[in-house]
Amino acid sequence: MSLVENIKKNKVPKHIAIIMDGNGRWAKKKGMARIFGHRNALTAVRESVIGASEVGTEAISLYAFSTENWNRPKLEVDALMSLLIHSLKKELPDFQKNNVKVNAIGRLGDLPKKAQETLNEVIDATKTNNKITLTFCLSYGSREEINTCVKKIAEEVKKGNLNPEDITEDLIQQNLYTHNLPDVDLMIRTSGEQRLSNYLLWQLAYAELYFTETLWPDFRREDLFKAVETYQNRERRFGKTSEQLEGEHEQTI
Ligand code: FPP
């Protein structure tokens, strides 16, 4: 079993992003409706946040509802929205106890009013917490995010506040929903699917990808530790050679 003690303190991923997949299959295996899987997903959410915090990760982002998820049956969409509202309220005392700062990104205006209000309350109540930032990606799609970002920058060019030469990678980063988060170091997807599904495409440019067969409702902090251990054993070269990296390492010791 993977233990937090096995994790090296000097190579902790700053930002972990998770595609929480497999709720429907988990429920089906038990002969239950899909929503039963979503309801049983909350323990995995809690465990991941606590686990990431124990590891020393600064930020964890969860793909809770994609722009494409609106196409699911209305009954499932409504159930997911009410689950979001109830669980945010229920978890607030634990967010405070564990010093978790809650954040949300995506087309939040598309969410039901009640979900928007609850999110705003929880975000406001936790805004001075600083152990870990938990970002719920809601009505989120990476292409939508990039499209919104391009429009914002184009408006500034049109107004004459910006020249095309001023458009740098940094400027793009500053205009994404994730402007206040570090790049993703580790992306985890559960349930055996190996796809990015329109998730944080810009932010994942140099991320290590970790896929596990575990269905999301069964995911526990030990699974997260195992993902972090795997991440720590990989060599991140950022386009350089192994020899160059060894040279840099020798200079720092
Ligand atoms: C993917 O499983 C999961 C989702 C689309 C929703 C994620 C929602 C939760 C984890 C519920 C709790 C979250 C919050 C923030 C309250 P799936 O339904 O696609 O599973 P399948 O691929 O097996 O059908």
The answer to whether position 2 is within a domain reads no
Q: Which atom of ligand 1 is nearest to the CA of 88?
A: 16
In a domain, 87, yes or no: yes
- CA of 138 from ligand 1 middle (Å) equals 12
Enter the pTM of the model: 0.94
Q: Binding site membership for Mg(2+): which residues?
A: 21, 208
Asked if the structure places residue 167 within a domain, the reply is: no
Ligand 1 pocket test target in 20, 49, 189 with most atoms within 8 Å of CB? 20
Strand partners, 138: 65
- Is residue 80, in this structure, part of any structural domain at all? yes
Average predicted confidence (pLDDT) for the chain? 95
Q: Which stretches of the chain are DSSP H helices?
A: 23-29, 34-39, 42-55, 74-97, 113-125, 142-158, 169-174, 221-233, 242-252
Q: Is residue 17 part of a domain?
A: yes
Tell me, yes or no, if 21 is annotated catalytic. Answer: yes
* Cα 150 to ligand 1 centroid, rounded to whole Å: 29
Active-site entry in 6, 10, 21, 166: 21
Q: What is the Å distance from ligand 1's center to 21 Cα?
A: 6
Q: Does residue 64 lie in a domain region?
A: yes
Cβ burial of 90 (10 Å; 0-12, 13-18, 19+) is exposed
166 is catalytic: no
Q: What is the tens place of the pLDDT at every residue in 61-119?
A: 999 999 999 999 999 999 999 999 999 999 999 999 999 999 999 999 999 999 999 99
Q: Which residues line ligand 1 (CB under 6 A)?
A: 20-25, 34, 38, 41-42, 45, 64, 69, 83-84, 87, 136, 191, 216
- Give the pLDDT score at 249: 65
Residue 118 CA to residue 126 CA, distance in Å, equals 12
CATH number for 52: 3.40.1180.10
Q: Is residue 89 a part of any domain in this protein?
A: yes
* Residue 155, domain member (yes or no): no
pLDDT beyond 80 at 237: no
Tell me, in angstroms, the distance from the centre of ligand 1 to residue 233's CA: 29
Q: How many domains does the chain have?
A: 1
Q: Count of CB atoms within 10 A of residue 8's CB?
A: 10
Q: Which domain holds residue 99?
A: 12-141+180-251
The pLDDT tens digits of the residues spanning 23-46 come to 999 999 999 999 999 999 999 999
Handedness of CA 83, 176, 113, 98 (dihedral sign): positive
pLDDT (tens digit, 9 = 90+) per residue, 159-178?
Answer: 999 999 999 999 999 999 99
Catalytic residue among 6, 10, 40, 69: 69
Q: Judge contact between 110 and 68, C-beta under 8 A.
A: no
Could you write out the DSSP letters of every residue in 60-104? EEEEEEEGGGGGS-HHHHHHHHHHHHHHHHHHHHHHHHTTEEEEE
